Protein backbone atom coordinates (compact mmCIF):
# COMPACT_ATOMS: atom_id res chain seq x y z
CA UNK A 1 0.00 0.00 0.00
CA UNK A 2 1.23 3.48 -0.81
CA UNK A 3 1.57 5.32 2.48
CA UNK A 4 -0.32 8.52 3.31
CA UNK A 5 2.00 10.92 5.16
CA UNK A 6 1.41 13.81 7.54
CA UNK A 7 -2.27 13.30 8.20
CA UNK A 8 -3.83 12.27 11.51
CA UNK A 9 -5.17 8.77 12.13
CA UNK A 10 -8.91 8.76 11.46
CA UNK A 11 -10.20 5.29 12.29
CA UNK A 12 -13.76 6.64 12.56
CA UNK A 13 -13.85 8.72 9.42
CA UNK A 14 -16.94 8.41 7.22
CA UNK A 15 -16.62 5.17 5.33
CA UNK A 16 -18.46 2.47 3.39
CA UNK A 17 -16.78 -0.50 1.75
CA UNK A 18 -16.71 -0.77 -2.00
CA UNK A 19 -19.93 -2.44 -3.18
CA UNK A 20 -19.50 -6.06 -4.30
CA UNK A 21 -19.03 -6.29 -8.06
CA UNK A 22 -18.34 -2.57 -8.49
CA UNK A 23 -15.28 -2.18 -10.71
CA UNK A 24 -14.66 1.58 -10.66
CA UNK A 25 -12.11 3.25 -8.35
CA UNK A 26 -14.46 5.66 -6.52
CA UNK A 27 -17.91 4.80 -5.12
CA UNK A 28 -20.74 6.94 -3.78
CA UNK A 29 -22.02 7.12 -0.22
CA UNK A 30 -25.38 5.37 -0.28
CA UNK A 31 -27.19 8.22 1.54
CA UNK A 32 -25.98 10.96 -0.76
CA UNK A 33 -26.32 13.85 -0.93
CA UNK A 34 -24.88 14.46 2.54
CA UNK A 35 -25.80 18.15 2.44
CA UNK A 36 -29.10 19.12 0.80
CA UNK A 37 -29.56 22.42 -0.98
CA UNK A 38 -31.65 23.89 1.85
CA UNK A 39 -29.56 22.95 4.92
CA UNK A 40 -29.76 26.58 6.05
CA UNK A 41 -32.93 28.68 5.77
CA UNK A 42 -31.69 31.11 3.11
CA UNK A 43 -29.78 28.73 0.84
CA UNK A 44 -30.56 27.94 -2.77
CA UNK A 45 -27.68 25.46 -2.99
CA UNK A 46 -24.75 24.14 -0.92
CA UNK A 47 -21.89 22.59 -2.88
CA UNK A 48 -18.13 22.82 -3.69
CA UNK A 49 -17.33 22.85 0.02
CA UNK A 50 -14.36 21.90 2.19
CA UNK A 51 -14.15 19.84 5.37
CA UNK A 52 -11.25 19.07 7.71
CA UNK A 53 -10.49 17.27 10.94
CA UNK A 54 -11.08 19.62 13.88
CA UNK A 55 -10.18 18.30 17.33
CA UNK A 56 -11.91 14.93 17.65
CA UNK A 57 -14.61 15.93 15.15
CA UNK A 58 -14.87 17.86 11.88
CA UNK A 59 -15.31 21.43 10.71
CA UNK A 60 -15.80 22.91 7.29
CA UNK A 61 -16.30 25.93 5.11
CA UNK A 62 -19.30 25.66 2.83
CA UNK A 63 -20.28 27.42 -0.32
CA UNK A 64 -23.91 28.40 0.10
CA UNK A 65 -25.54 30.43 -2.63
CA UNK A 66 -28.54 32.21 -1.14
CA UNK A 67 -31.98 32.51 -2.66
CA UNK A 68 -30.81 35.68 -4.34
CA UNK A 69 -28.20 33.34 -5.89
CA UNK A 70 -25.38 35.32 -4.31
CA UNK A 71 -22.27 33.27 -3.55
CA UNK A 72 -20.76 33.25 -0.06
CA UNK A 73 -18.95 30.96 2.39
CA UNK A 74 -20.21 29.67 5.74
CA UNK A 75 -18.64 27.73 8.64
CA UNK A 76 -20.01 24.40 9.83
CA UNK A 77 -19.33 21.58 12.30
CA UNK A 78 -19.97 17.85 12.39
CA UNK A 79 -19.37 15.00 14.83
CA UNK A 80 -19.29 12.30 12.14
CA UNK A 81 -18.44 14.08 8.86
CA UNK A 82 -21.89 13.27 7.53
CA UNK A 83 -24.40 15.29 9.56
CA UNK A 84 -23.51 18.97 9.41
CA UNK A 85 -24.61 22.04 11.34
CA UNK A 86 -23.93 25.01 9.11
CA UNK A 87 -23.96 28.52 10.54
CA UNK A 88 -26.86 30.37 8.85
CA UNK A 89 -24.77 33.56 8.62
CA UNK A 90 -21.80 33.91 6.29
CA UNK A 91 -18.24 34.05 7.60
CA UNK A 92 -17.14 37.54 8.64
CA UNK A 93 -13.42 38.11 8.24
CA UNK A 94 -11.39 40.48 10.37
CA UNK A 95 -8.29 41.88 8.75
CA UNK A 96 -5.32 39.70 9.68
CA UNK A 97 -2.69 41.56 11.72
CA UNK A 98 -0.53 43.52 9.31
CA UNK A 99 -3.02 43.30 6.47
CA UNK A 100 -4.66 46.34 4.89
CA UNK A 101 -8.36 46.24 5.89
CA UNK A 102 -9.55 47.06 2.38
CA UNK A 103 -9.10 43.46 1.25
CA UNK A 104 -11.98 42.34 3.44
CA UNK A 105 -14.42 44.26 1.23
CA UNK A 106 -16.79 41.60 -0.01
CA UNK A 107 -17.95 41.16 -3.60
CA UNK A 108 -18.55 37.42 -3.71
CA UNK A 109 -16.88 34.31 -2.37
CA UNK A 110 -17.08 30.75 -3.56
CA UNK A 111 -15.45 27.32 -3.84
CA UNK A 112 -13.52 27.34 -0.54
CA UNK A 113 -10.70 24.97 0.36
CA UNK A 114 -9.42 24.47 3.91
CA UNK A 115 -5.88 23.35 4.70
CA UNK A 116 -4.25 22.87 8.11
CA UNK A 117 -0.64 24.08 8.06
CA UNK A 118 1.50 24.14 11.19
CA UNK A 119 -0.82 25.79 13.72
CA UNK A 120 -3.96 26.97 11.96
CA UNK A 121 -6.56 26.30 9.33
CA UNK A 122 -6.03 28.30 6.16
CA UNK A 123 -8.95 29.03 3.91
CA UNK A 124 -8.58 29.84 0.25
CA UNK A 125 -11.50 30.68 -2.00
CA UNK A 126 -12.47 32.32 -5.23
CA UNK A 127 -12.76 35.96 -4.15
CA UNK A 128 -14.43 38.75 -6.10
CA UNK A 129 -11.94 41.58 -6.49
CA UNK A 130 -12.62 43.35 -9.80
CA UNK A 131 -13.07 39.83 -11.12
CA UNK A 132 -12.29 36.49 -9.51
CA UNK A 133 -9.00 35.90 -7.73
CA UNK A 134 -7.77 33.80 -4.78
CA UNK A 135 -8.71 35.01 -1.30
CA UNK A 136 -6.64 33.78 1.64
CA UNK A 137 -7.58 33.74 5.32
CA UNK A 138 -7.17 31.65 8.43
CA UNK A 139 -8.88 30.57 11.60
CA UNK A 140 -7.95 28.66 14.72
CA UNK A 141 -11.48 27.79 15.83
CA UNK A 142 -13.89 28.29 12.88
CA UNK A 143 -15.49 31.12 14.84
CA UNK A 144 -13.09 34.02 14.32
CA UNK A 145 -11.68 34.38 10.84
CA UNK A 146 -8.82 36.56 9.60
CA UNK A 147 -8.37 37.64 6.03
CA UNK A 148 -4.97 38.17 4.43
CA UNK A 149 -4.07 39.72 1.07
CA UNK A 150 -5.41 38.10 -2.08
CA UNK A 151 -2.79 35.70 -3.38
CA UNK A 152 -2.89 36.82 -7.00
CA UNK A 153 -4.15 39.48 -9.37
CA UNK A 154 -7.42 38.65 -11.07
CA UNK A 155 -8.26 36.39 -12.76
CA UNK A 156 -7.81 33.11 -11.01
CA UNK A 157 -9.92 30.35 -9.46
CA UNK A 158 -9.25 27.27 -7.38
CA UNK A 159 -6.34 28.23 -5.17
CA UNK A 160 -5.33 25.06 -3.33
CA UNK A 161 -2.61 25.11 -0.67
CA UNK A 162 -0.20 22.25 0.03
CA UNK A 163 -0.41 21.08 3.66
CA UNK A 164 3.22 21.89 4.44
CA UNK A 165 5.98 24.14 3.22
CA UNK A 166 7.95 22.99 0.21
CA UNK A 167 11.53 24.14 -0.20
CA UNK A 168 10.97 26.45 2.79
CA UNK A 169 7.94 28.21 1.26
CA UNK A 170 4.18 27.90 1.36
CA UNK A 171 2.95 26.37 -1.89
CA UNK A 172 -0.25 26.64 -3.89
CA UNK A 173 -1.67 25.27 -7.12
CA UNK A 174 -4.23 27.38 -8.95
CA UNK A 175 -6.08 27.81 -12.21
CA UNK A 176 -5.78 31.21 -13.89
CA UNK A 177 -9.07 32.14 -15.54
CA UNK A 178 -11.03 34.98 -17.10
CA UNK A 179 -13.99 37.05 -15.93
CA UNK A 180 -16.64 34.63 -17.13
CA UNK A 181 -17.09 30.90 -17.50
CA UNK A 182 -13.52 30.57 -18.83
CA UNK A 183 -13.10 28.42 -21.94
CA UNK A 184 -9.56 27.39 -20.90
CA UNK A 185 -7.75 26.19 -17.78
CA UNK A 186 -4.31 24.86 -16.87
CA UNK A 187 -2.82 24.15 -13.45
CA UNK A 188 0.02 26.35 -12.19
CA UNK A 189 2.18 26.17 -9.05
CA UNK A 190 3.38 29.14 -6.95
CA UNK A 191 5.36 29.63 -3.74
CA UNK A 192 5.36 32.25 -1.00
CA UNK A 193 7.55 32.82 2.08
CA UNK A 194 4.67 34.42 4.02
CA UNK A 195 1.38 33.69 2.18
CA UNK A 196 1.36 37.34 1.04
CA UNK A 197 4.00 37.61 -1.66
CA UNK A 198 3.69 34.89 -4.29
CA UNK A 199 6.18 33.96 -6.99
CA UNK A 200 8.31 31.14 -8.41
CA UNK A 201 5.38 30.36 -10.69
CA UNK A 202 5.60 27.05 -12.51
CA UNK A 203 3.40 25.33 -15.04
CA UNK A 204 2.14 21.97 -13.80
CA UNK A 205 -0.08 20.61 -16.55
CA UNK A 206 -2.82 21.49 -18.96
CA UNK A 207 -5.72 20.02 -20.84
CA UNK A 208 -5.52 16.73 -22.67
CA UNK A 209 -8.04 14.46 -24.38
CA UNK A 210 -11.76 13.88 -23.92
CA UNK A 211 -13.02 14.49 -20.39
CA UNK A 212 -10.15 16.89 -19.61
CA UNK A 213 -9.98 18.64 -22.98
CA UNK A 214 -11.47 22.05 -22.07
CA UNK A 215 -9.88 22.88 -18.73
CA UNK A 216 -8.22 21.29 -15.74
CA UNK A 217 -7.96 22.69 -12.22
CA UNK A 218 -6.89 21.63 -8.75
CA UNK A 219 -9.40 20.00 -6.40
CA UNK A 220 -8.80 19.07 -2.75
CA UNK A 221 -5.61 19.72 -0.77
CA UNK A 222 -2.99 17.39 -2.33
CA UNK A 223 -2.40 14.22 -0.30
CA UNK A 224 1.22 13.53 0.63
CA UNK A 225 2.25 9.92 0.03
CA UNK A 226 5.56 8.07 -0.01
CA UNK A 227 5.28 8.03 -3.83
CA UNK A 228 4.58 11.74 -4.35
CA UNK A 229 1.74 14.23 -3.98
CA UNK A 230 -1.51 12.58 -4.95
CA UNK A 231 -3.53 15.29 -6.64
CA UNK A 232 -7.21 14.89 -7.36
CA UNK A 233 -8.12 17.46 -10.02
CA UNK A 234 -11.18 18.42 -12.03
CA UNK A 235 -11.30 18.11 -15.78
CA UNK A 236 -13.88 19.67 -18.06
CA UNK A 237 -15.29 18.59 -21.39
CA UNK A 238 -17.12 21.15 -23.54
CA UNK A 239 -19.95 19.05 -24.91
CA UNK A 240 -22.59 20.20 -27.40
CA UNK A 241 -24.80 20.58 -24.33
CA UNK A 242 -22.35 22.55 -22.15
CA UNK A 243 -19.52 21.81 -19.74
CA UNK A 244 -19.20 18.42 -18.01
CA UNK A 245 -17.08 18.34 -14.81
CA UNK A 246 -15.37 15.09 -13.79
CA UNK A 247 -12.29 14.35 -11.74
CA UNK A 248 -9.07 12.43 -12.19
CA UNK A 249 -5.72 11.94 -10.50
CA UNK A 250 -2.06 12.78 -11.02
CA UNK A 251 1.06 12.15 -8.96
CA UNK A 252 3.39 15.13 -8.46
CA UNK A 253 7.02 15.11 -7.41
CA UNK A 254 7.32 15.49 -3.65
CA UNK A 255 10.04 18.22 -3.66
CA UNK A 256 9.19 19.86 -7.00
CA UNK A 257 5.42 19.46 -7.32
CA UNK A 258 5.35 21.15 -10.73
CA UNK A 259 6.92 17.95 -12.08
CA UNK A 260 4.21 15.46 -12.96
CA UNK A 261 5.43 11.94 -12.31
CA UNK A 262 2.28 10.19 -13.48
CA UNK A 263 -1.19 11.11 -14.64
CA UNK A 264 -4.30 9.13 -15.42
CA UNK A 265 -5.85 9.09 -18.86
CA UNK A 266 -9.32 8.16 -17.58
CA UNK A 267 -11.40 10.08 -15.10
CA UNK A 268 -11.98 8.37 -11.75
CA UNK A 269 -15.41 9.89 -11.08
CA UNK A 270 -18.04 11.84 -12.99
CA UNK A 271 -21.74 12.70 -13.08
CA UNK A 272 -23.79 9.51 -13.29
CA UNK A 273 -26.70 9.69 -10.84
CA UNK A 274 -29.68 12.02 -10.64
CA UNK A 275 -28.31 14.63 -8.19
CA UNK A 276 -25.14 14.96 -10.30
CA UNK A 277 -26.89 14.99 -13.67
CA UNK A 278 -29.67 17.37 -12.66
CA UNK A 279 -29.58 20.60 -10.69
CA UNK A 280 -28.80 24.26 -11.16
CA UNK A 281 -25.85 23.32 -13.40
CA UNK A 282 -26.30 19.78 -14.73
CA UNK A 283 -23.42 17.30 -15.15
CA UNK A 284 -21.03 18.66 -12.54
CA UNK A 285 -18.99 16.73 -9.96
CA UNK A 286 -16.49 19.11 -8.36
CA UNK A 287 -14.20 17.81 -5.56
CA UNK A 288 -12.95 20.27 -2.92
CA UNK A 289 -11.85 18.20 0.09
CA UNK A 290 -10.80 14.80 1.38
CA UNK A 291 -10.55 13.06 4.72
CA UNK A 292 -7.96 10.29 4.92
CA UNK A 293 -6.89 7.51 7.25
CA UNK A 294 -3.19 6.66 6.84
CA UNK A 295 -3.50 3.25 8.54
CA UNK A 296 -6.03 1.93 6.01
CA UNK A 297 -5.35 4.22 3.04
CA UNK A 298 -9.02 5.23 3.05
CA UNK A 299 -10.04 8.47 1.36
CA UNK A 300 -13.44 10.20 1.62
CA UNK A 301 -14.00 12.83 -1.08
CA UNK A 302 -16.46 15.72 -0.64
CA UNK A 303 -17.71 17.04 -3.95
CA UNK A 304 -20.26 19.49 -5.24
CA UNK A 305 -22.97 17.86 -7.35
CA UNK A 306 -24.69 19.80 -10.15
CA UNK A 307 -23.85 23.09 -8.36
CA UNK A 308 -26.72 22.27 -6.00
CA UNK A 309 -25.86 19.76 -3.24
CA UNK A 310 -22.80 18.16 -1.62
CA UNK A 311 -21.94 14.50 -2.13
CA UNK A 312 -19.53 12.13 -0.46
CA UNK A 313 -17.60 9.39 -2.23
CA UNK A 314 -15.07 6.82 -1.10
CA UNK A 315 -11.85 5.36 -2.44
CA UNK A 316 -8.39 4.39 -1.21
CA UNK A 317 -4.93 5.58 -2.09
CA UNK A 318 -4.26 2.26 -3.83
CA UNK A 319 -7.54 2.35 -5.78
CA UNK A 320 -6.59 5.75 -7.19
CA UNK A 321 -2.96 4.92 -7.95
CA UNK A 322 -3.94 1.49 -9.33
CA UNK A 323 -6.52 2.97 -11.72
CA UNK A 324 -4.15 5.75 -12.80
CA UNK A 325 -1.55 3.11 -13.65
CA UNK A 326 -4.02 0.78 -15.33
CA UNK A 327 -5.15 3.60 -17.64
CA UNK A 328 -2.08 5.85 -17.79
CA UNK A 329 -1.58 9.01 -19.76
CA UNK A 330 -0.23 7.97 -23.18
CA UNK A 331 3.55 7.75 -23.22
CA UNK A 332 3.98 6.22 -26.68
CA UNK A 333 2.56 6.99 -30.10
CA UNK A 334 1.61 10.17 -31.87
CA UNK A 335 -0.71 11.51 -29.18
CA UNK A 336 2.01 11.06 -26.58
CA UNK A 337 4.50 12.91 -28.76
CA UNK A 338 2.10 15.86 -28.96
CA UNK A 339 1.70 15.91 -25.19
CA UNK A 340 5.45 15.64 -24.76
CA UNK A 341 5.82 18.90 -26.67
CA UNK A 342 3.06 20.57 -24.70
CA UNK A 343 4.12 19.50 -21.22
CA UNK A 344 7.86 19.85 -21.31
CA UNK A 345 8.58 19.61 -17.62
CA UNK A 346 7.09 16.26 -16.89
CA UNK A 347 8.76 13.04 -16.06
CA UNK A 348 6.76 10.96 -18.47
CA UNK A 349 7.88 13.28 -21.28
CA UNK A 350 11.48 12.42 -20.61
CA UNK A 351 10.80 9.10 -22.25
CA UNK A 352 10.93 11.05 -25.52
CA UNK A 353 14.49 12.32 -25.09
C1 LIG B 1 -16.68 26.47 -12.33
C2 LIG B 1 -16.84 27.06 -10.95
C3 LIG B 1 -17.53 26.09 -10.03
C4 LIG B 1 -18.73 25.42 -10.65
C5 LIG B 1 -18.43 24.97 -12.07
C6 LIG B 1 -19.65 24.42 -12.78
O7 LIG B 1 -16.12 27.38 -13.23
O8 LIG B 1 -17.59 28.25 -11.05
O9 LIG B 1 -17.97 26.79 -8.90
O10 LIG B 1 -19.07 24.30 -9.90
O11 LIG B 1 -17.93 26.04 -12.81
O12 LIG B 1 -20.66 25.38 -12.89
Do the domain assignments include residue 11?
no
**How far, in Å, is the centroid of ligand 1 from the Cα of 153?**
19
Confidence band for 344, pLDDT divided at 50, 70 and 90: low
The verdict on the CB of residue 65 being under 6 Å from ligand 1 is no
The verdict on the CB of residue 111 being under 6 Å from ligand 1 is yes
Please state the rounded mean pLDDT for residues 131-143: 98
- Could you give the number of structural domains in the chain? 1
DSSP output for 40-81:
STTEEEEEEEEEEEETTEEEEEEEEEETT--EEEEEEEESSS
Q: CA dist 222 to 116, 149, 228, Å?
A: 12, 23, 10
Do the domain assignments include residue 7?
no
Do the domain assignments include residue 296?
yes
Q: What is the pLDDT of residues 193-244, one digit of tens each?
A: 999 999 999 999 999 989 999 999 999 999 999 999 999 999 999 999 999 9
Do the domain assignments include residue 32?
no
Do the domain assignments include residue 255?
yes
Judged on CB neighbours under 10 Å (0-12, 13-18, 19+), 87 is: middle
Structural domain range at position 324: 42-342
Q: What is the pLDDT of residues 250-304, one digit of tens each?
A: 999 999 999 999 999 999 999 999 999 999 999 999 999 999 999 999 999 999 9
Q: Which CATH number covers residue 121?
A: 2.115.10.20
The residue nearest atom 9 of ligand 1, judged by CA position, is 111
The residue nearest atom 10 of ligand 1, judged by CA position, is 307
**How far, in Å, is the centroid of ligand 1 from the Cα of 284?**
8
User: 285, 308 in Cβ contact below 8 A?
Assistant: no
Do the domain assignments include residue 10?
no
Q: What's the pTM value of the predicted model, to 2 decimals?
A: 0.95
Do the domain assignments include residue 22?
no
Give the Cα separation of 267 and 13 in Å (integer). Answer: 25
Helical ranges in 273-331 per DSSP H:
274-277, 317-326
Do the domain assignments include residue 94?
yes
The verdict on the CB of residue 230 being under 6 Å from ligand 1 is no
**How far, in Å, is the centroid of ligand 1 from the Cα of 345?**
28
Amino acid sequence: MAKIIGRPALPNMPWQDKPAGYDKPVWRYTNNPVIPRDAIPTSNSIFNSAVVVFGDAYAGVFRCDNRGVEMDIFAGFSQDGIHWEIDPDPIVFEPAPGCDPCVTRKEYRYDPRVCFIEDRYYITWCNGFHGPTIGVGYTFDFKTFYQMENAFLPYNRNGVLFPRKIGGNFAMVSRPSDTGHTPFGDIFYSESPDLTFWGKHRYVFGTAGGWQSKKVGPGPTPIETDEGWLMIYHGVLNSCNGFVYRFGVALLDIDKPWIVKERGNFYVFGPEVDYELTGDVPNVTFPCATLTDPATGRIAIYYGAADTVTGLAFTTVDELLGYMRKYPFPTTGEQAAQYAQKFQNQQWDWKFD
